Amino acid sequence: MRITWLAAAAAAALCCVDAAASAGGQGQCKFRAVFNFGDSNSDTGGFWAAFPAQQAPFGMTYFRRPAGRASDGRLVIDFLVQAMGLPLLSPYLQSVGSDYRRGANFATLASTALQPNTSLFVTGTSPFFLGVQLNQMKELRTKALRSNGNNAQLPAPDVLSNSLYTIDIGQNDLTSNLGSQSIETVKQSLPSVVSQITSTVQELYSIGARNIMVFNMAPIGCYPAFLTKLPHTSNDMDGFGCMKTYNSAVTYYNELLNTSLAEVRKKLQDASIVYANKHAVTLELFRHPKAHGLKYGTKACCGYGDGAYNFNPDVYCGSSKVLNGQTTSAKACADPQNYVSWDGIHGTEAANKIIASSLMSGSYSYPPFDLSKLCKLQPIA
């Protein structure tokens, strides 16, 4: 039964749905653009546009070069826009070669929902938190309205109200504090994170957004990096090699988010406010990778280490460092298509493809949000 429900959902989303053509704007899709807000899980190059430094082997699978994504290839947001027949999203912070006529990506690696109280150069937290990203969207909208369709790089005014707005953020608000605080202490801040996200949803509505999808948080207790770095006992491990305490905190957050979005939905009844449950799909992949064509769940493809997780916090994917008098390098595996985790923290293109396909089916969202009924979906290659 487990294989059936996930595989069936993915298969349904991977196919072109001819019957949906009439529902799609301009004969293809109801949504003429996508505007995304988030962190490294959906950053298509914003962080590295601001701080150029990304190196191989990132991007090795699809782009054949570093492409600003924390993966070997495409992210969930990439698969979504490609299936919708839209171009890959240009990062808002990328000044060269960007085209925002069909959307923009405000996400940056290491971003938080809440305003950080520290510097990027101290703790690695991005200065482009959700509030900044929202202001960037407002500025883009203002310029688009002023140009009235006469700017070759900006969306036409009617595109703005016929777009899908996606939010995938919050994970760093949880994980960035776990090094200095207990999980119980960190949990106390999660209602504020949810409040910031729901406030952003309402702000987007106030500037014309009517279709907003909010992703919940993935099970951090299953990722190789956190399994390596976070304190835990053997009693805290579940039967699938994941940490129960940390995953419980994620479940608590996701329940808060779902409940809060339901309240917002009551206020904004002419809008579609969708809760996207990527957590369920990701957890299934970590627990049963082989059932979905993968081989390794809680082991990173790109990393360094002799342990089961192939992750060393001192030698991150693509970097080298002298350890015990010897130069060591964190290199990529030869078969990332067999892994759930790319670098210990983020998903591989293979995992992202499965997650995106499942989300597009509508089976992992509330209310059900079947993209095939809103767009003539393109096959995902």
Query: How many other CB atoms are found less than 10 A from the CB of residue 316?
Result: 18
Residue 301 has pLDDT above 70, yes or no: yes
Q: In this model, does residue 166 exceed pLDDT 60? A: yes
Determine if residue 356 is left, alpha or beta; phi over 0 gives left, psi from -120 to 50 gives alpha, anything else beta.
alpha
- Residue 306 annotated as catalytic: no
Residue 343 annotated in active site = yes
Active site residue 40: yes
8 pLDDT more than 60? no
Helix (H, G, I), strand (E, B) or coil at 203: helix
Options 40, 71, 90, 111, the catalytic residue: 40
Residue ranges of domains in the chain, CATH in brackets: 22-288 (3.40.50.1110)
On whether the pTM is more than 0.85, the answer is: yes
3-state secondary structure 283-347: HHHHHCHHHHCCCEEEEECCECCCCCCCCECCECCCCEEEECCEEEECECCCCHHHEEECCCCCE
Helix ranges, 26-129 (H)? 46-50, 76-83, 120-123
SS3 assignment, position 169? coil
| Catalytic hit among 173, 346, 361, 363 | 346
Instruction: Spot the catalytic one: 292, 343, 361, 363.
Output: 343
- Confidence at residue 6, expressed as pLDDT on a 0 to 100 scale: 64
At 11 the pLDDT is 52
- Look at residue 47 in the predicted model and tell me its pLDDT: 97
